[in-house]
Amino acid sequence: MSPLIKSAQPGGSRVREAGLAGALRASLLTSAATIILLFTAPAARAEVRPGDAFPALAAAGLTGGPLPVTAGHVTLVDFWASWCAPCKASFPAYARIQADYAARGLVVVAVSVDDRTRDYEGFLQKFHPAFATLLDQRKQLVSTVKVPAMPTSYVLGRDGRVRFVHAGFHGSATERELRAQIETLLAEKS
């Protein structure tokens, strides 16, 4: 029988009190544990979305080349990997975009998430990108941003805030969207 049922019997009030006190104590312990977890557990971070400030590239431990100056520029940050077929298709489009808009203030930065430096370097030798390429071998930036797919590009305004996100690369359709968005951002006053 449960303590509450026993309490209806003679002498059951002590049993009822013990059962209620135990339940109250368990409830308080559960509440205390929940509060402790809320204040001590690392906060679950959501992926970087439009309107969010993009993390500083300089703080991400990227290797492979010099960091380009992005402050005050419209910036396209693309996450890619050497094993990613759509990434291979995106590089010629980014080269065209870089060539067409660099003089107006666009910076393209491609961030590889390859595990091995030789895979990253082999990709660069094959594609010879005309824009900055960096390696996030420790996965620090990609995990901070919570990149949803390979490739994913983030178009940042001059203020460093994400304005547009493109998960995947869909050929000329993605290139047209990027160009329209970049034109809009370059036309904005600083």
Does 92 sit behind a cis peptide bond, omega within 30 degrees of 0 on the bond before it?
no
Burial class for 106, CB neighbours closer than 10 Å (0-12, 13-18, 19+): buried
> Over the chain, what HEC string results?
CCHHHHCCCCCCHHHHHHHHHHHHHHHHHHHHHHHHHHHHCCCCCCCCCCCCECCCHHHCCCECCCCCCCCCCEEEEEEECCCCHHHHHHHHHHHHHHHHHHHHCEEEEEEECCCCHHHHHHHHHHHCCCCEEEECCCCHHHHHHCCCCCCEEEEECCCCEEEEEEECCCCHHHHHHHHHHHHHHHHCCC
- So what's the pLDDT on residue 35? 32
Separation CA 62–CA 138 (nearest Å): 8
Delimiting residues of CATH 3.40.30.10 domain(s) in the chain: 57-187
- So what's the pLDDT on residue 54? 95
Tokens of 144: 């901070």
Q: How far is CA 139 from the centre of its chain?
A: 11
- So what's the pLDDT on residue 48? 84
The answer to whether 43 and 74 have CB atoms below 8 angstroms apart is no
β-bridge partners, 149: none
pTM: 0.75
The answer to whether 111 and 134 have CB atoms below 8 angstroms apart is yes
- So what's the pLDDT on residue 47? 83
The answer to whether 145 and 49 have CB atoms below 8 angstroms apart is no
**pLDDT tens sequence for the chain (190 residues):** 444 333 344 455 444 445 545 543 444 333 333 333 233 333 344 688 898 999 999 988 899 999 999 999 999 999 999 999 999 999 999 999 999 999 999 999 999 999 999 999 999 999 999 999 999 999 999 999 999 999 999 999 999 999 999 999 999 999 999 999 999 999 998 6
Q: Quick one: fold of 57-187?
A: Glutaredoxin (3.40.30)
